[in-house]
Amino acid sequence: MKKNIVVLTIITILSGFFFITVYNYQLISNMKSNPQRNSSLVRIIENLETEIEAEQERLNEMRSKIENIEVQLSDEQKNIQSLKNELALQKKEAGLVSLQGTGIKVILDDNKDGLSENPESNPNNYIVHYESLLALVEEIKRAGAEAISINEQRLITNSDIRCVGNVILVNTARIAPPFEISAIGNPLLIEKYIINSSEYDFLLTSEIPISYELFTDDKTITIPSYKSNITFTYTQLAN
């Protein structure tokens, strides 16, 4: 009996040993299979994280680039703005924009009544000649006017007022009476200059209807821009 028990005990020891060994193996393999999946998931996550990091870096780069560009842009815009301002100023000075301000409007017309009353006299005594316009413009200029136009024709540096046959050309545009000379400047000063000019006296004595309208503080006069083109054929910028 004792021997039997010993033999059985040996067998049971082996049995227990085998059982636990296999059990352990299964346990470990079960545990292993999950960590493997976990590790693959972890790897995927890590890869994604590195990807995200790379993308974020790229994003940051882009952002800094955009920032630089924006800074440049704002600089350029500032430049552009100053250039625009300059251009606007130049245009204003060149007469390429319409302007408004206080000033005076001088209106003179042919003496039609006088001509019809005296049909035999020389018609030249009853019409406005270009010299009168020229003289009045000269007076207005001397009075410090900043912008002048005659019948919506802006006078700029190379404008001319001349007579071709029986029409008056301003800026090569034909104009007809009544003539309206508009000017921006000190209205009272211009008025004084005109009234005191010999041309004004002459016109009054010639009975040419002449009148003027003052545009002071609350009223402003608008002077149109120069519409024709300015061509420089022989001119170059001097350094």
Partner 1 sequence: MWFLPFLGLFAGAALGYLLNIEIPAHLVKYFSVAFLAALDTIFGGIKSIQNGSFEGILLITGFFTNMLVAGFFAYIGDSIGVDLYLAAVFAFGVRIFSNISQIRHNIIAKYFKINRDDNDE
- Residues at the site binding partner 1, with contacts judged by CB under 8 A: 1-22, 24-26, 28-29
State the Rg of the chain over Cα.
Answer: 49
Alpha-carbon separation of residue 21 from 12, 30, 33 (angstroms): 14, 14, 18
- SS3 (DSSP) at 165: coil
Cis peptide before 178 (omega within 30 of 0): yes
The smaller minimum CB distance to partner 1, of residues 17 and 202, is found at 17
Contacts of 177 (CB under 8 A, 6+ apart): 108, 109, 110, 127, 128
The smaller minimum CB distance to partner 1, of residues 36 and 79, is found at 36
In the complex, least distance from residue 61 CB atom to partner 1, rounded to whole angstroms? 49
Alpha-carbon separation of residue 60 from 57, 64, 72, 74 (angstroms): 5, 6, 18, 20
In the complex, least distance from residue 35 CB atom to partner 1, rounded to whole angstroms? 15
In the complex, least distance from residue 33 CB atom to partner 1, rounded to whole angstroms? 12
In the complex, least distance from residue 54 CB atom to partner 1, rounded to whole angstroms? 39
d(CA 152, CA 136): 16
In the complex, least distance from residue 24 CB atom to partner 1, rounded to whole angstroms? 6
